[in-house]
Amino acid sequence: MKLSASQIDQAKANPRRFVGNMGKPFRMRPHFRMYFCGAIARYFKGMAEADALDYFNVNAEEKLQSQLYFTAHLNRYRQSLLNFFENFPDLDLLYLRSAERFTLNLGNHRLSGQVEAIHAKPFGGYAVTMTEKEASDWTNSLKWPLVQAAIASKMNGDPSEVEIVSYSMMDLEFSRHCFPTEVIDAAKHDAESVIENVESIRAEFED
């Protein structure tokens, strides 16, 4: 079975609800994070901060203006973007590439996904940068240790050489994590069990 890395924690938290929602049509609607991430991707590729901010403003105003509390949300995300531009250079990372897809084999199952960007660290190794609306529960999440393992494999490195750097858009903070081998191994085992449970529940639904 193939599952998205972004779904693994949902499947773990409420597998029956997750299975019940599988196969339902999903329509991607424009949202602030879409243009926020688009601005950051352009900034990583060399676009000036002012131009990246203009990209965000123009698209948000054109596509999202009908949303409730639009002006308040626009100002909050804009301030967060400016904070990102101000503080990201302090991380001392060298941009390599964006929108990098990955897969991770878990027994007979496969986890897939995409990270926003991969960077080189100044003294060796890699950093994966991601944005989130609010900070993750790093203690209980399966997703992030698995992403670390998947990117390490993709870059032909060891998981200890990969760091996850997450930016919380609402908290205006960066957090950095490098999960130890035992946490990654436990996450792989748990994720495999989660997917097998999803398969079992789905079989019940189909009977």
Q: For 81-139, give the DSSP string.
A: HHHHHHHGGGG--EEEEEEEEEEEEETTEEEEEEEEEEEE-TTSSEEEEEEESS---TT
Per-residue pLDDT of 46-72, as tens digits, reads 999 999 999 999 999 999 988 889 999
Rounded percentage of the chain residues whose pLDDT exceeds 70: 98
C-alpha torsion angle, residues 152, 155, 158, 164 (rounded to 10): -40
Nearest to 115 by CA among 140, 97, 137: 97
For residues 98 and 189, what is the distance between their CA atoms, to the nearest angstrom?
29
The structural domain count of the chain equals 1
Instruction: Read off the pLDDT of each residue in 169-173 and give the average, rounded to a whole number.
Output: 95
**CATH number of the structural domain spanning residue 41:** 3.90.320
Residue 139 pLDDT: 85
Token output for 194: 């989660």
**pTM given for the model:** 0.91
**Which residues are bridge partners to 33 per DSSP?**
none
In a domain, 202, yes or no: yes
DSSP letter for 178, please: -
Per-residue pLDDT of 1-55, as tens digits, reads 888 999 999 999 999 999 988 877 666 788 999 999 999 999 999 999 999 999 9
DSSP letter for 64, please: S
Q: Is 39 helix (H, G, I), strand (E, B) or coil?
A: helix
In a domain, 109, yes or no: yes
Residues 115, 147: contact at Cβ < 8 Å? yes
Residue written as tokens 């490098």?
Answer: 178
In a domain, 5, yes or no: no
In a domain, 8, yes or no: no
Cα 25 to chain centroid distance, Å, stands at: 22
Cα 144 to chain centroid distance, Å, stands at: 8
In a domain, 6, yes or no: no
In a domain, 97, yes or no: yes
Residue 207 pLDDT: 63
**Which residues are bridge partners to 177 per DSSP?**
164
Residues 177, 140: contact at Cβ < 8 Å? no
In a domain, 57, yes or no: yes
In a domain, 137, yes or no: yes
| Segments forming the whole domain that contains residue 33 | 16-206
